[in-house]
Amino acid sequence: MELSHQQLADLYYRLWLIRLFDAAARRLFMENKLRGTTHTYTGQEAVAVGACSVLRPDDYITSTHRGHGHVLAKGGDPRRMMAELLGKATGYCKGKGGSMHIADLDIGVLGANGIVGGGIGIATGAAYSATVRGTDQVAICFFGDGASNQGILMEAGNMAALWRLPIIYLCEENQYAEFSPSRPFMAVEKLEQKAAAFGMPGVTVDGNDLLAVRRVVGEAVARARAGDGPTFVVAQTYRVEGHTVGDPLTYRPPEEAEQWRSPERDPIQRFGRKLVDDFGFTSAELKGLHEQAQQTIDEAIRFAEESPEPEPADLWEDVLA
């Protein structure tokens, strides 16, 4: 799939949208405008943007506690997301979900999730549903390297392979699970080996290379749409910031994250260079896209701050259909 100049520009814009959304989320959290916890996707943007770039609007994704990037990549509205972070009535969940629970059923986002591994069954169910309804929709299930140790992956992965479901299990190996490195908690040498136990192909990709993610996930999606079953994709990346905003990061050397912030590794800078070197973009153009993303985020914050709180009676709404 060749990408037009406009499409490439949009991908670059989206990377910045996610980066800047999370920068804003971090700042608002530190200003005590958010409640609970919030998790940033900083450094992993190319995974969501690359993967979602091969999806159609009617395809599905499930997301995680670190979900802002997935939702934005699938086409989520930053204004309604920001309003949700501030607990406003105009938010995606009417202020009832917050940072960890953003969903947009209209664009196939079946929810971020507070339960590690909580999306695995749901995504597999969406893929099953597509086969029963006779559509060629596919589902991407985003989850972390830590989540790959949840039992439900074994169960759902087996069924997906048995039933040749149109799903991509997209494991983001960001090297951490909460306050521990994730590696010491996996007996397999490479995460993709887990795919063998489910009986499906396993592929590993550089998650900080947007076009590589797009290629690998694109092939998996094509297989899935053609009825050839699921794929287990491991995107190798790095959680540049703390587990949650406010995490003092006492458990890892600061130099480590610095390396991943460097122009050589940072997914946005890498993609930007590629656009200039191989696709005829000018640095002024890139700067313009970056600024445009900043404007969108600023506008989202304004919208969120000016939005009303839910009414007390809303407490009782939406418990049942």
Ligand X SMILES: Cc1ncc(C[n+]2csc(CCOP(=O)(O)OP(=O)(O)O)c2C)c(N)n1
Binding site for ligand X (CB under 6 A): 64-66, 114-116, 144-147, 174, 176-178, 182, 239, 243
Query: Given 3-state DSSP classes, what are the helix, strand and coil percentages for the chain, each rounded to the nearest 5?
Result: 50, 10, 40
User: Minimum Å distance from CB 286 to ligand X?
Assistant: 28
User: Minimum Å distance from CB 217 to ligand X?
Assistant: 18
Q: Which is nearer to ligand X, 207 or 229 (CB)?
A: 207
Q: Give the separation between CA 161 and CA 143, rounded to whole angstroms.
A: 18
Distances, alpha carbon 85 to alpha carbons 19, 67, 68, in Å = 16, 12, 10
Q: Which is nearer to ligand X, 235 or 301 (CB)?
A: 235
Amino acid occupying residue 213: V
Q: How many CB atoms lie within 10 A of CB 134?
A: 6
- Name which of Mg ion, other proteins, ligand X, none residue 310 binds, using a CB cut-off of 5 to 8 Å depending on partner kind: other proteins
- Report helix angle 283-306 to 267-279, nearest 10: 140
Q: Which is nearer to ligand X, 49 or 147 (CB)?
A: 147
- Name which of other proteins, ligand X, Mg ion, none residue 259 binds, using a CB cut-off of 5 to 8 Å depending on partner kind: none
User: Minimum Å distance from CB 177 to Mg ion?
Assistant: 5
Residue 198's nearest CA partner among 137, 260, 243, 153 is 153
User: Minimum Å distance from CB 147 to ligand X?
Assistant: 4
Q: Give the footprint of Mg ion on this chain (CB under 5 A).
A: 144-146, 174, 177
Q: Which is nearer to ligand X, 134 or 253 (CB)?
A: 253
Q: Give the separation between CA 28 and CA 132, rounded to whole angstroms.
A: 43
Q: Which is nearer to ligand X, 267 or 272 (CB)?
A: 267
- Name which of other proteins, Mg ion, ligand X, none residue 234 binds, using a CB cut-off of 5 to 8 Å depending on partner kind: none
User: Minimum Å distance from CB 260 to other proteins?
Assistant: 21
User: Minimum Å distance from CB 234 to other proteins?
Assistant: 16
> Quick one: CA torsion of 98, 236, 157, 140, rounded to 10 degrees?
50
Q: Which is nearer to ligand X, 75 or 114 (CB)?
A: 114
Q: Which is nearer to Mg ion, 146 or 267 (CB)?
A: 146
- Name which of Mg ion, ligand X, other proteins, none residue 98 binds, using a CB cut-off of 5 to 8 Å depending on partner kind: other proteins
- Name which of other proteins, ligand X, Mg ion, none residue 100 binds, using a CB cut-off of 5 to 8 Å depending on partner kind: other proteins
Q: Which residue has the tokens 């506008």?
A: 299
Q: Give the separation between CA 232 and CA 10, rounded to whole angstroms.
A: 27
Q: Give the separation between CA 64 and CA 171, rounded to whole angstroms.
A: 11
User: Minimum Å distance from CB 227 to ligand X?
Assistant: 30
Q: How many CB atoms lie within 10 A of CB 187?
A: 7
